[in-house]
Amino acid sequence: MTSAISLTIRKYSWKYAGNLAFWIQRLTGLGLVFYLILHVHTIHDLRDPAKFDAALATFSKPFFKLGEIFLLATVILHAMNGIRLTMVDMGVGLTKQRQVFWYFTIGLGAALLIAGALPMFIYGILRHQP
Amino acid sequence: MSARVINWYLQRVTGAALLFLLVLHFWVEHFTAEVRTPHGLTFAVIQQRFFHNPWFVAVDISFLIIALYHGLNGVRNIICDFSIVTKPMRNVVTVALILFGLGVAYWGIMAFVGNEHLNPLNPKGATVAAAR
Amino acid sequence: MATYQIRVARSGSDGATDSFTVELDHRMTVLDALFLIQREQDPTLSFRCSCRVGMCGTCAMRINWQPRLACQTRVLTLKADTIVVEPLAHLPVMKDLVVAMDPFFEQWKRVKPALHPDPKRDPKKLAVVPPTSEFGKQAQGKRDCITCGACYAACGIVGSNEEYLGPAAINKAMLRLMDPRDNAVDERLEELNDENGVWRCHTQFNCVAACPKGINLTDSIMKMKRSLLFPKKFHDKRNFVDNP
C-alpha cells in the first residue's frame, strides 16, 4: 500500500503548476460542497428563531471564527483557480500558465485572503466578547 | 449541442455567477451596518431584512440552486474520472446526485417558504422580532 | 567526464531497481548511459530505441520522474548525480524499460487517425493550406507528434481512467477535423464528445510539460472543447483553410 501511494506521488510532476492547481481545485471543491450542505442545514433552523440564534452564538466563538477564515481561504483558492481555469478554457495565457498560477491564483489570492482575514481576525477573535 | 457541452459550459457560467453572488453574500453577512453591532448577525436582522426587501429570498434561493448545481456537477466530474465507475453506473450516479441536490434544495428553500416568522404578511412573526 | 549513479527499474522482482555507476561525458545522453551499462555491466538490461535523434518516439521512458525521450535527454541537463530511469507509467511493462504501447494506440485508433478522404473530392486536386489560415497555424507545431506516449504516461487522468482518449489522440483528431481533404467528421466528433473523450481533461498541463516535441496539447484539447459548442463548423472545411 505505501509503495502504491509513493508510486502515485512520484508518478506525476508536482513541480508543475497545472497538476498542483488540479488537486487544489478538487480538494477545495469537495470541501466546499460539504460545507454547503452543513450551511443549508444551519439555515433550515430559520424556522425556529431560538435554535437559529443559539447556532449563531456558537458560530461566533473564536474557534469557529478561525474556521471561517479557513473557509475564506478555501473559497478564494477555488475562485481564483476557477478564474484561471476559465482563462485556460478560453485559450488565454496557455503558454504562461505557470506564471498565471503562481502570480494570479496564489499571489493575488494570498493578498485577497489577508485583506479579508485581517478584519475577521481582529473583530472575531482578538476583540471577541463572550 | 449535447448535454456534456452544456454541462461544461454551465459549470463556467455558474462559476462566474457564484463569484459575484459570493462577494455579495460575504458583504451582506459580514460587513453591512446592520451586522456590525455587538450582537452581529441575528435572526432579527435577517427578519428585518426580509420584511424590508423580499428580493433577498429570491437571491438566496437562486444562490443555493446555482451553488448546488456547480458543486454536484463537480462531484459528478470527479466520479467520472474513475473508470471503475462504468458508463451505466454513471447514469445511476447522475440520478442519485440530482435527487440528492433536489433534497438539499428542498431543505434550504423550506427555511424561507412556509416559514411563519419570515412571512411579511404575518404580523405574528414581526412581534417575535420586536420582542427580542 | 563525471561519475553518475544510474538507478534503473528492473522487472524481475517486484519494484526492484539496480544501481550502476558509470563515467559519462557531459555531452552524453541517458540513452548513451543505458548502452554503456548494457555493454559493460549488465547485458540483460532491456530498453528500446531506434532513431537516436528524437524523431521516432521509441525511447520514451520516465527519467527522474518525468517522461522524456532518453536519446534527447543529456545527463548534464538533469542537474543530478543520481539518475532514476523507469518505464513509462500507465502502460504494461514487458521487461525492464520496455512497455507495451497497446493501451495508448487503442485510444489513438478510436479517433480514426488515418485520413478518410471525401469520395466526392478529386484526389488529384491538391489541398491549399495557407500558413496564415486556422489549420495552417494549428498544423505548424501540432503535427510534430511522434506518438512516443510521453503525454499519455504523464496524464493524471489516465492513471485513474484508462478509457480516457489521452492528449495525443485528441491532438490528432483536431488536426484531422481541420484537414480539408478529410471527411470523417461525425465519427471523430462522437468519440471526442464521449464521456471519456475531451471532457475528462482537467488541464493538469502534465502532457505539455512532458511532450518532447513541445506541443501545447492542452491548447488542442481546449480548442476541441470550445469547438464542440459549435460542431457544425467542421462540416465546412473552408472555415479552417481560408485566409483570415
Grade residue A6 by pLDDT with cuts at 50, 70 and 90: low
* pLDDT score, position B132: 46
Quick count: other Cβ atoms within 10 Å of Cβ B80? 20
Asked whether the beta carbons of residue B107 and residue A52 sit closer than 8 angstroms, the reply is no
Q: What was the pLDDT predicted at A9?
A: 66
d(CA A74, CA C71): 43
Mean pLDDT estimate for chain A: 86
Residue B42 pLDDT grade (very low, low, confident, very high; cuts 50, 70, 90)? confident
Of C156, C206, C218, the CB nearest to A94: C218
C213 φ, ψ (degrees, to nearest 5): -95, 5
Domains and CATH numbers, chain B: 3-131 (1.20.1300)
d(CA B61, CA B70): 14
Q: Name which of A68-82, B36-50, C206-220 the model is least confident about.
A: B36-50
Confidence at residue B128, expressed as pLDDT on a 0 to 100 scale: 54
Which stretches of chain B are assigned E, i.e. beta strand? none
Residues of B in contact with A43 (CB under 8 A): 108, 111
Are C45 and C8 spatial neighbours (Cβ–Cβ below 8 Å)?
Answer: yes
What torsion, rounded to 10 degrees, do the Cα atoms B105, B107, B108, B114 define? Answer: 120
pLDDT tens string, chain C, 244 residues long: the values are 899 999 999 887 666 888 999 999 988 999 999 999 999 999 999 999 999 999 999 999 999 888 999 999 999 998 888 999 999 989 999 998 999 999 999 999 999 999 999 888 888 888 889 999 999 999 988 999 999 999 999 998 998 899 999 999 999 999 999 998 898 999 999 999 999 999 999 999 999 989 999 999 999 999 999 999 999 999 988 889 887 7
Q: Is C20 helix (H, G, I), strand (E, B) or coil?
A: strand
Q: Do A129 and B104 touch (CB under 8 A)?
A: no
Domains belonging to chain A, first-starting first, are 15-126 (1.20.1300)
Work out the angle at residue C214's Cα, subtended by the Cα atoms of residues C213 and C216, and round it to the nearest 5 degrees: 125
Question: Does domain C102-241 match CATH 3.40.50.10490?
Answer: no
- Domain map (residue ranges) of chain C: 2-87, 102-241
So what's the pLDDT on residue C13? 64
Give the span between the Cα atoms of C162 and C178, in whole angstroms.
Answer: 27
Q: How many CB atoms lie within 10 A of CB A60?
A: 17
ipTM above 0.90, yes or no: no
Q: Are the C-beta atoms of B12 and A92 separated by less than 8 Å?
A: no
Residue B89 corresponds to which amino acid? M
Predicted confidence (pLDDT) at residue B49 exceeds the cutoff of 50: yes
pLDDT of residue A1: 44
Q: Do B22 and A33 touch (CB under 8 A)?
A: no
Closest CA to C85 of C74, C101, C104, C70: C70
Residues C212, C148 contacting (CB under 8 angstroms) = yes
Taking the C-alpha atoms of residue B96 and residue A19, their distance in angstroms, rounded to an integer, is: 29
- Residue range C2-87 forms a domain whose CATH class is alpha beta
Contacts of B132 (CB under 8 A, 6+ apart): B42, B43, B44
For residue A80, pLDDT beyond 80: yes
Q: Does any CB of chain C come closer than 8 Å to the CB of residue B4?
A: yes
Give B117 to chain A, closest Cα distance, Å: 7
**A97 at C interface, C-beta within 8 A:** yes
Cα distance between residue A123 and residue B65, in whole Å: 31
Do the beta carbons of residue C119 and residue C194 sit within 8 Å?
no
Least confident segment among A3-17, B64-78, C148-162, C177-191: A3-17
Q: What is chain B's mean pLDDT, rounded?
A: 86
Dihedral sign (CA C29, C33, C34, C38) = positive
Residues whose CB is less than 8 angstroms from the CB of residue B22 and which lie 6 or more positions away in sequence, other chains included: A75, A79
Report the candidate in B103, B124, B125 with the shortest Cα–Cα distance to residue B46: B125
First CA to last CA distance, chain A = 48
